[in-house]
Chain A
Amino acid sequence: MRIRLGHILLAYAAAFLLQTNWLSTFSVIGVSANYVLCALILLNSYSERPAVYAGAVLCGLLSDLCLGQYVGVAALAYLAVSAVLRVVSRALDQHNVLAVVYTALWATVLYETIYWLILILFGGQYRWAYLLARLPGLLFVNGVVTGILKGITR
Chain B
Amino acid sequence: MFKWIREHRAITCFIIAAVLLFAVLVASYGSHEDSSYALALQAVVAEIHKPITELGKILDRGTRGVFGFRSLVDENQVLKERVAELEAEIQDLQLSQAELEELKLLSEALNYTGVQESKLKVATSVISMDGSSHFNIFTVDAGVRSGVGKDAVVVNGQGLIGRVMEVGQGFAKVVSVTDTNNNVSFRIYKSETESYLGVASGDGQGGLSGYMLDADARVRVGDSVTTSGMGLYPAGLAIGTVTAVTENSDALLKTLEIETAVDFSNLSKVLVIVTKDSL
Contacts and interface: CB of A to CB of B under 8 A. Distances in A.
Interface of A: 17, 19-25, 27, 30-35, 50, 57, 61-76, 79-80, 82-83, 86, 115-116, 118-119, 122, 124-127, 129-131, 133, 138
Interface of B: 10, 13-14, 17-18, 21-22, 24-25, 27-29, 34, 38, 41-42, 45-46, 48-49, 52-53, 56-57, 60, 127-135, 137-139, 173, 175, 179-180, 202-206, 265-266
B134 A116 contact: yes
Contacts of A27: 131, 265
Leading 7 A-B pairs by shortest Cβ distance: A22-B56, A32-B131, A72-B25, A24-B131, A71-B28, A130-B205, A34-B132
Q: Is the interface of B mostly helix, strand, loop or mixed?
A: helix
A20 B130 contact: yes
Nearest to A28: B131
Contact of B137 (A67, A72, A125, A126): A67
A52 B135 CA distance: 26
A138 B127 CA distance: 23
B131 A57 contact: no
A115 B14 CA distance: 17
B52 A22 contact: yes
9 contacts: A22-B53, A25-B266, A31-B131, A61-B21, A65-B34, A66-B128, A69-B135, A127-B204, A130-B205
Nearest to B132: A34
B132 A19 contact: yes
A126 B134 contact: yes
A80 B87 CA distance: 46
Nearest to B42: A66
Nearest to B266: A25
Contact of B24 (A19, A20, A71, A83): A71
B129 A67 contact: yes
Contacts, number: 132
A118 B29 CA distance: 11
B205 A24 contact: no
A66 B45 contact: yes
B41 A69 contact: no
A17 B137 CA distance: 16
Contacts of A64: 28
B52 A122 contact: no
Contacts of B57: 22
A76 B129 contact: no
Contact of B173 (A25, A35, A62, A66): A66
Nearest to A22: B56
Contacts of B60: 22
A68 B28 CA distance: 11
Contact of A72 (B21, B139, B205): B21
A117 to B, nearest CB: 12
Contacts of A21: 49, 52-53, 56, 127-128
A148 B48 CA distance: 27
B132 A17 contact: no
Max chain B CB contacts within 10 Å: which of A23, A25, A27? Answer: A25
Contact of B130 (A63, A72, A75, A131): A63
B258 to A, nearest CB: 15
Nearest to B181: A69
A48 to B, nearest CB: 9
B262 to A, nearest CB: 13
Contact of A69 (B46, B137, B204): B137
Max chain B CB contacts within 10 Å: which of A65, A116, A133? Answer: A65
B132 A125 contact: no
A122 B26 CA distance: 9
Nearest to A70: B28
A47 to B, nearest CB: 14
A128 B249 CA distance: 28
B128 A67 contact: yes
B141 to A, nearest CB: 12
B52 A75 contact: no
Contact of B29 (A66, A67, A122): A122
